[in-house]
Chains A and B, each alone.
Chain A
Amino acid sequence: MEKHILLRDLDVPNIRDLAVYSQHEGYAAWKKAVTGMKPDEVITVVKDSGLRGRGGAGFPAGVKWSFIPKDVFPKYVTVNCDESEPGTFKDHHLIRHNPHQVIEGTALCAYAIGANVAYIYCRGEFREPAYELQKAIDDAYAAGLLGKNLFGSNYSLDIYVHLGAGAYICGEESALLESLEGKIGQPRLKPPFPAVSGLYSKPTVINNVETLANVPPIVLNGSAWYKQWGTEKSPGVKLFSVCGHVKNPGNYELPLGKYSIQELLEMAGGSMTGRPIKAVLPAGSSSPIIPASNFHAKLDYEAMAAIGSVLGSCSWIFMDDSVDMVWAARKMIRFFKHESCGKCTPCREGTHWALSVYDKLLSGKGTIEDVNLIGEVNKQIIGKCFCPLGEFATSSMTFTLKHFKQDYVDFIDQKKGGSDVYLKELARDHHLHELHSGVVSVNGIKVH
């Protein structure tokens, strides 16, 4: 692509500064909307653009906005900047390097649904980026772009930045709302959905940072302009966070459906180690792993579904053939065990149990029965969880077992467990676990 739509910092130095952003059509869409468009017109153009949510589920943004009832007040916009999926770093990039576009997109969403307050919920670890974002918001206020009676209209908008406490589950929209309300971060029972009863039980739109960053250019240039990229069902451009065994990890902005996984890998410079790439996780640890044999698939929602995977949060972790899938699956299960909110039994207990079996494999005490046990514990979790996190947790087991069963068999047969590296890893993890849980070990006996 000639010019970036989202990663504009790559084309325009210092676009993070309000002055520079303003010189490059910054807040033009905002002014256009507030001074010349009805809220419904904003919804319509976003709907027509076909823009789909970039947080994972891919739900059409304009459609979501249109669900907000007109006659209930107040309403809220909540921007999901929890970005906790391992391997995802696109939202981080946007709020650091192109924050005004995120703010402008948020503002447009608020205007469209008639909200006067918006919250940007950042993961707890985004401490510094959140301060920078706040600085950008302060600048926007100072320039009269946020606050009371904007552009002389009777429309007012306040935007607040909120830092979470560092929980993956708080990226799930209803847990995010709970957390934002000051409660323990656990997902809510649905229905009601946030559009009906969201923040403080009021109608609420929740969108991902990247989703909203697309909105200013769409409002400014129209839906047809946006649709020149992407496919019919997946229009527009998308950020791809690429990492793992590639030469040039980073964020890539690509039109949807144009390139294949293989081409993405090549854009990122190919294998870093020179060894063949074995597989890729397309959306971090929650996605079905894709073996290299499927790298021909195109990068859009439908094509990914066709090969039994997802586009999701678009965090591409490439792994070369040195990666043992038993080890990789364990790492992911450990992540989910740590991040399970604990609300429901299968996820809370299942991830804990599964990890204990993986640990047994790594410690060298495992047998092929344990491999089978992992499969069974996994099946026991699937389809029973309260929210998708528990289901995400199963992909690492389901799909490594599906595509790389041989790794498991070899792990047992070739007695890979019990190696120094693995024992050290286990020791470190358990030490960390003890630090986290406040459990201290005295002479091998755990005490509180």
Chain B
Amino acid sequence: MADLVNLTIDGKAVAVPKGTLIVDAAKTIQNDIPVFCYHPKLKPVGMCRMCLVEIGTPKMDPATRQVVKDDKGVVVIAWQPKLNTACTTPVSEGMAVRTQTTVVSDAREDVLEFLLTSHPLDCPICDKGGECPLQNLTLEHGPGNSRFEYENKQHNAKHVPLGDLIYLDRERCIQCSRCIRFQDDIADDHVLQFHERGRHMEIITLSEPGFDSYFSGNTSDICPVGALTTADFRFKARPWELGSSPSVCNHCAVGCNTTLNTRLDTKTGINEIKRVMPRQNEQVNEIWLCDKGRFVHHYTRAGDRLQKPLIRQNGQLVETTWERALDLVSSKLLGASSVAAVIGDRIANEDAHLLTKLVNSNAKGETRLSPALPASYADLARDYGVGVGFDMKQLGKGDVIVVVNGDVEEQAPVWFLRLRQAVVDRGAKLIVSNHRGTKLHRYAAHIARYEQGMAAQWAAQTDDAALSTEELTKARNVLFVFGDEKLDAVSARGLAQILVGKLVAAGQIGKPNSGLLPLYPHGNTQGVFDIVAGTRHSGNPGVLSVDVAWLVGVGDTSDAPKARFSVVSELFMTALASVADVVLPALSFAEREGTYTSGDRRVQRFYRALPAVGQAKPDWWAVQEVARRMGFVWNFASPAQIFTDLAANVSYYSGLGYEVLAKTESQWPPVGRDDLYYGGTGYENDGGIGVRYASNPSVISAPTLPKMITSMSDLKGPARKLYQTGELIKRSDVMQTHIE
């Protein structure tokens, strides 16, 4: 590469891209320069002074302007008289850095001793204890004891609620400003600030309600001390007692990679999720999560989880054994004239596949995605979606991002962070078109508006120059991010069709970073659709009427079929479950393994983190047991085997399998290793970064103009907000005040 810069660090040669900071250059050769305020995802500030190193540059002869060499021909280095911060100094050609000299190690010790003079040292009761950068660096570089007199310690408030999700311990704060900078530079919610000066400087929140941001939990991960703790995790467990399992968030189409930290609760005696942490996937969520993904896990151990199968007797649902329930379901299915399966879009691919397989054995079997609306356009999102090599981080100058009818912060929060950076930091052009305001409007180069429900009409008729074929053809890439808010199936499909038409006309099809990106409602909308789509499925609106219906994980959908006999597999006694003939207790994502397919078609594995609740079983198990009773010879021992069968049947997934999906690769910046002070307490990816399957653009039919919406009653549903109420969020105490 042309713009590599060569330097030496402790005599070792390194070549890194121009503009790299010394601290990162050192990291590439495993030279861990300690930092507190620096964070590889944030702009450097040089505040804490922990990263001081010796820096030298080739000595220049002022007269000849040539590099001076000694008699052996070696370039003479002019060392700077003072130490300098590795986190703010970019590398330069021929630079020399020393990180292991006595002056440097003295400086580290000095800065640590300073930091500790005002630190309460309450590690034994600190949530960060055990994974604390300050603790770890003190062990490694700090003084053995302090000469500061303990009585002179300044005491500050220790339980300051910044909002109801994040608490600040003012004594522990080392004033590194990482939290402020995350909020300013990444989340763009400017709700934190320093107040006062000197030793009185403290973090305050400026918003009302406090710390008003969907991303607040991330500050607790990157805070280098235990100053910011979440209301959810504080005083709940010590980090080293926690089990950790790789998982995937299923609340939206992003598919953030997570690590579930679990532990036996001493009071209740049950094993539960203590916290949800980000698991690094630079292709998906980097090292961030939104607060929904972080805090809505409590439903997994809610007291009202279904524990036993139920069947209807004399009009009442009564507890029964799995044997009896499965026998009943299989006998009903055997005799059924028509069958429908409705599969919720948080159900794992494996379960969806097995149920679809079973239902399709019935001559009139039908499967349906729930909610039904996305099925009207998910084939287009799949076939004209972003390319296999899509990388949001590459979007920047020359690219056009068009967000139509979507509120990315509310509907795919982490995509909001990443798209915003593409626009604000890397110069992509953003066009936003919506019937209402969204946070992305702030960065839009161009804004268009239409009446509620009229997104497709707008897209079909717009003569906006910014969206002309000419403009879109000129763009390096064109990404259409779109949603279905306030649309019916015809309009939603119409919108997707028109967008595809624009991609085709602009010659943007087939590029990795061009295509559609759908704002699906949940984490496996695409996956369930992919599975049901190849079969007899009904993407059409209208209520199905069947003999037997099996509803899996649909919550209280309004799309439930009319059935003479209905089976509901659920976590909770939903309204639909309460009128079912059989209710089967299911396992949540945390209690089993499986895969989800994200909105950008990345198939990702999640793993079992918790034991089962009561007698609840994974849905695939119940389906297989029913199938066996109906005479099928199925012997799937695990989701992995089911996935193999899925890959053999659903062409898009061919070639995929659990082993490929579990593959990881080294990611930059390195996060989650021993050097927690560098990237924070997020986890390294040990569960697989997932694989995006290839889109398959075929010839598209000419866009048809959708029917015009004429009356308000045609408008479907409310505006989709992140914290809108639902079965899952309502079971998290910490989220109560946020539910809309």
Contacts and interface: CB of A to CB of B under 8 A. Distances in A.
Interface of A: 167, 169, 184-186, 189, 337-346, 348-353, 356, 360, 373, 376, 380, 383-386, 436-437, 446, 448
Contacts of A385: 49
Contacts of A360: 149
- Which 5 residue pairs of A and B lie closest in terms of their CB atoms, listed nearest first? A342-B201, A349-B114, A340-B198, A380-B110, A342-B198
28 contacts: A169-B197, A184-B194, A184-B195, A189-B44, A337-B198, A340-B199, A342-B175, A342-B197, A343-B175, A344-B49, A345-B48, A345-B111, A345-B114, A345-B115, A345-B174, A345-B175, A346-B49, A349-B117, A349-B199, A353-B152, A356-B149, A380-B113, A383-B83, A384-B49, A384-B52, A384-B110, A446-B155, A448-B156
A383 B82 contact: yes
Interface string B192-209: 011111111100000000
Contacts of B88: 189
A341 B197 contact: yes
A384 to B, nearest CB: 5
Given A340-B198, A380-B114, A446-B155, A353 B49 contact: no
Contacts of A338: 198
A349 B118 contact: yes
B171 to A, nearest CB: 12
B110 A189 contact: no
A352 B149 contact: no
Secondary structure at the A interface, as helix, strand, loop or mixed, is helix
A348 B49 CA distance: 11
Contacts of B45: 189
A13 B194 CA distance: 47
B197 A353 contact: no
A383 B85 CA distance: 11
Q: In this complex, which of B52, B83, B148, B156 has the most chain A Cβ atoms within 10 angstroms of its Cβ?
A: B148
B465 interface: no
B22 to A, nearest CB: 14
A346 B111 contact: yes
Contact of B175 (A348, A373, A384): A348
A446 to B, nearest CB: 6
Given A185-B197, A342-B175, 17 more contacts: A189-B46, A338-B198, A339-B198, A340-B198, A341-B198, A342-B194, A342-B199, A343-B175, A345-B114, A345-B175, A349-B115, A350-B114, A352-B117, A356-B148, A384-B49, A384-B83, A436-B200
Contacts of A353: 114, 117, 148, 152
B47 interface: yes
A344 B48 contact: yes
B138 to A, nearest CB: 13
Contact of B157 (A344, A349, A373, A448): A448
Given A349-B199, A373-B147, A383-B83, A343 B47 contact: yes
Nearest to A437: B200
B107 interface: yes
Nearest to A167: B197
Contacts of B195: 184
Contacts of B154: 352
Nearest to A373: B147
Contact of B200 (A342, A345, A380, A386): A342
Given A342-B194, A386-B46, A386-B49, A348 B199 contact: yes
A185 B115 CA distance: 22
Interface string B122-161: 0000000000000000000000000111001011110000
A118 B118 CA distance: 41
B107 A384 contact: yes
A343 B193 CA distance: 13
Contact of B47 (A184, A337, A344): A344
Q: In this complex, which of A167, A344, A351 has the most chain B Cβ atoms within 10 angstroms of its Cβ?
A: A344
B174 to A, nearest CB: 8
B145 to A, nearest CB: 13
Contacts of B52: 384
B578 to A, nearest CB: 51
Interface of B: 44-50, 52, 82-83, 88, 107, 110-111, 113-115, 117-118, 147-149, 152, 154-157, 174-175, 193-201
Nearest to B155: A446
B444 to A, nearest CB: 22
Contacts of A437: 196, 200
Contacts of A169: 197
A392 B349 CA distance: 65
Contact of B199 (A189, A346, A352): A352
Nearest to B106: A380
B23 to A, nearest CB: 14
Contacts of B49: 344-346, 384-386
Contacts of A167: 197
A185 B45 CA distance: 15
A350 to B, nearest CB: 6
A186 to B, nearest CB: 8
Nearest to A353: B117
B198 A348 contact: yes
A380 B52 CA distance: 13
A353 B152 CA distance: 9
Contacts of A350: 114
A167 B201 CA distance: 13
Contacts of A349: 114-115, 117-118, 199
Contacts of B48: 344-345
Q: In this complex, which of A341, A346, A373, A376 has the most chain B Cβ atoms within 10 angstroms of its Cβ?
A: A346
Nearest to B180: A184
B116 to A, nearest CB: 9
Contact of A337 (B44, B147, B156, B199): B199
Nearest to A350: B114
A295 B44 CA distance: 45
B152 A356 contact: yes
Contacts of B193: 184
Q: In this complex, which of B111, B115, B195 has the most chain A Cβ atoms within 10 angstroms of its Cβ?
A: B111
A402 to B, nearest CB: 19
B469 to A, nearest CB: 36
Contacts of B107: 384
Contacts of A351: 198
A273 B156 CA distance: 45
B201 A348 contact: yes
B47 A345 contact: yes
Nearest to A360: B149
Contacts of B157: 448
B83 A346 contact: no
A446 B117 CA distance: 18
A179 B503 CA distance: 48
Contacts of B115: 345, 349
Contacts of B113: 380
A385 B47 CA distance: 9
A385 B110 CA distance: 12
Contacts of A186: 194
A352 B47 contact: no
A340 B197 contact: yes
Contacts of A352: 117-118, 154, 198-199
A177 to B, nearest CB: 16
Contacts of B199: 337, 340, 342, 348-349, 352
Nearest to A383: B82
A369 to B, nearest CB: 9
A258 to B, nearest CB: 33
A338 B50 CA distance: 23
Q: In this complex, which of B45, B49, B149, B155 has the most chain A Cβ atoms within 10 angstroms of its Cβ?
A: B49
B352 to A, nearest CB: 52
A341 B83 CA distance: 21
Given A341-B198, A437-B200, A446-B155, A346 B114 contact: yes
B152 to A, nearest CB: 5
A343 B47 CA distance: 6
Contacts of A185: 197
A353 to B, nearest CB: 5
